[in-house]
Amino acid sequence: IVAPVVSNIVTEMFRIMSDVENESVLMALCAIVEEYSANVVPIAPQMVEHLVKCFLSYSAEGHEDDEAAMAAALCLDALTAIVDVLDPDIPSNNSDITILRQVETLMMPTLYKIVSTEHSEFLDNGVQFMTQFTYYGDDISPNMWTLCGPLLVSLHTWAYDYIAEIVMPLLNFMSKDIKMFLTTTYNNQSLMQL
């Protein structure tokens, strides 16, 4: 009954989210993504675009606003569920690398904010996204390469407690294109120096 109208339900949920900050809507959205993954794949880019806007808005409110911080975390949970659905290795989802790359591009503002500022409460999600985006496909997009430097700076300055998590995307960067890793610079320093 629900599967054919998932797109309509998701559209209505986003309309509700634009009117009110409601954590229940975000949790329900996660449940829909997990339950109806094959139906979500075609609308994933639109969902991601909306969730990225919501995350950036909620996270801009700062640590003082507990409701906004919770809503930002729930946006990341919903994004995680969507990115998991787009795993090209799961044939039943009818997903391919093209949709995953679209989603990656849409998520760049979120990823950059997470890895380049001290948002330790969101770093786990950001590193998980980076791991997935650098793992799938034959190469790593130029967008993702722009995040490698900020990720290393964060590891060195404030995110050292997350070294176990950060190692995964770093290994993907190195194993996919070691030459690029050795020749890329960030703020006039090579990634190797960082």
- For residue 92, is pLDDT > 70? no
Average pLDDT, the chain: 88
Q: Which residues contact 112 (CB under 8 A, 6 or more apart)?
A: 146, 147, 150
Average of pLDDT values for 47-74? 85
pLDDT at 21 over 80: no
The pLDDT of residue 125 is above 80: yes
Greatest mean pLDDT among 33-47, 83-97, 128-142: 128-142
How are the residues of the chain apportioned to helix, strand and coil, as percentages rounded to the nearest 5? 80, 0, 20
Taking the whole predicted model, whether its pTM rises above 0.75 is answered as yes
Predicted local confidence at residue 47, as pLDDT = 92
- Chain CA centroid to CA 102, Å: 12
Q: Choose the weakest-confidence range: 13-27, 44-58, 126-140.
A: 13-27
Mean pLDDT of 21-28: 80
Secondary structure (DSSP) of 42-91 = GGHHHHHHHHHHHHHHHHTT-TT-HHHHHHHHHHHHHHHHHHHHT-TT-G
Residue 85 confidence (pLDDT)? 86
